[in-house]
Structures are given as C-alpha cells and as structure tokens.
Structure 1
Amino acid sequence: MSPVPYAAEVTVSDGQRYASLGTAAVRNRRLVLLWLRRQALRLANAHGNRAAPDGDPPPPTTTADVRPVLFHGSDAPETLRHWATTGRLQDDAIRTLESGFPLHFTVLDPAVGLSLTLAGWHAFPGRRHP
C-alpha cells in the first residue's frame, strides 16, 4: 500500500479543550480541499435543519463525514459557506497547500465561545499535525 501524502481534520474547541470531529487521509492536495469544502458545506447546510426532536444536529450522511456541530448563531455557518463557495478563497487555499504550508481556516460561534477549524496538511511519517 502506498503512503497517503495528505491529511485533513475538522476540530472544535472552547479555547481550553479541543475535539476532533473527523479526519481524512487522501492522495493529493486537491482531495484535501475537496473534502474540507464538502465538510464545510455539510456543516453549514445542517444549521437550521435539525430533524431530531431533542435538538441534536443531524447525523453524518456517510462514514467519511465529520460529526455534526450544533451552531447557536448563523455567523459560523454563513462563514463556512462563504469560504467553501468563494473562488478566490479556494484559490488561496490550494496555493497554501501547493506551497507546502498547512491550511487552517477557523470560524467562531460567539454565542457559546466555540471555534471550528478546518485543517489540511502534507502528511509526514510519524507526525499527526503540522
């Protein structure tokens, strides 16, 4: 099996602790960006579509999707949607990965003090994060 040269992760943090919502290991930087865009749009589009009566966000649609997040305002989902659908921002993101730098994009949910980060990087043997 050939090594997977790129990785991506979505995390959530309250400023003191963080949790991984999901990860992906892919063959190239374009697939990193594609996976991160898919997750950003899925998380943004789930805002307001809470089908569960207990207020929990909808479950992931595939095993490759990150765990859902319950946003308390519309700022974070709109920022995620804007990042994922704006050509200039996507061009900047792919250039960052092409240059060998890690990609980080963070949105805040100020209503509850949480931050959600999309990250992608070139995977080096023995290292999980850049």
Structure 2
Amino acid sequence: MMRAGYAAEVTLAAGQRFASLGRVSVRNRRLVLLWLRRQTLRLADGHGSGVRDESPGDVRSVLFHGSDAPEGLRFWATDHHRQDDAIRPLEAGFPLQFTVLDPAVGLSLTLAGWHTSPAHRP
C-alpha cells in the first residue's frame, strides 16, 4: 500500500549561519499545520525563555530581540484566515512557507511544511 507523508521544519538564519530548530514527519497536512502552529505559539510565548510545556518533538527556543517576530508568529498562529491560507498550498501539493524577521539582529525564522514522497508500507 502507498501512503503519502508530510514533513515540517522550523529553521533560523542569521547572516550566513543557518540552523534547524526542529523537524517532524507526519501522516497528513492537517498534522503539519497543527505542529507548526504549536511550535509557533511556543516560540512567540516563550520569547527566548525556557518554555515549561516542552515535549520531545518541540523545537528549540529562540531569543528574539524585538517584539515584531513574536507578534508576527502569534498573529499567524491565531488568525483563522491565515491558517486557512496556510493549508491551501499543502492541499494543492505545494510547500508551505512562512518567515518572520527580527530586524534588530538580522534573524529570520522560517516555518515550512511539504508533501514527502509516498512511502511503501507492507
């Protein structure tokens, strides 16, 4: 049986440096969006401090130097229209990508989700 899968990742870039804060593989696009939304709210609410409700699959915290990035993340995660817009590319087979900037220090945080190759299941 063939079964499609999805992946999601949160990455951080500063100048020429790039790091993955965490990644997950899930079975459907709704789970991609749920995972990204959870990570987004954790990052926005934690604002670099130790987040207490951390689970093994959660991304590492980020210290933002301004309020624009956390507010942008929170808006993306809590606005129903943005969430509807976010799932449309995944439904169409395209990757989802959303980036917020922390201009105070030149950080960019990117949320991404995409359809992976179908995997063979016994």
The match for 2:111 among 105, 110, 118 is: 118
* Structure 2: segments with no counterpart, 5+ residues: none
Select the structure that is richer in strand: 2
Aligned to 1:100: 93
Number of residue pairs the alignment of both structures matches? 117
Paired-residue identity, %: 70
1:77-125, Cα deviation, whole Å (9 max, x unpaired): 0000000011111001111110000000000000100000000000127
| Consecutive aligned runs of 4 or more in structure 1 exceeding 2 Å deviation | none
Contact 1:15 1:114 in 2 (8 A): yes
Q: Is the contact made by 1:4 and 1:25 (CA closer than 8 Å) also made in structure 2?
A: no
- Structure of higher RCO (CA pairs closer than 8 Å, 6+ residues apart): 2
Structure 1 unpaired stretches of 5+: 51-56, 126-130
CA RMSD of aligned residues (A): 1.9
> Match of 1:58?
50
> So what's the TM-score if we normalise by structure 2?
0.89
1:25-75 C-alpha deviation (Å, 9 max, x unpaired)? 00000000000000000000012xx6xxxxxx3157111100000000110
Letter in 2 for 1:74: S
Query: Post-superposition shift, 1:14?
Result: 1.1
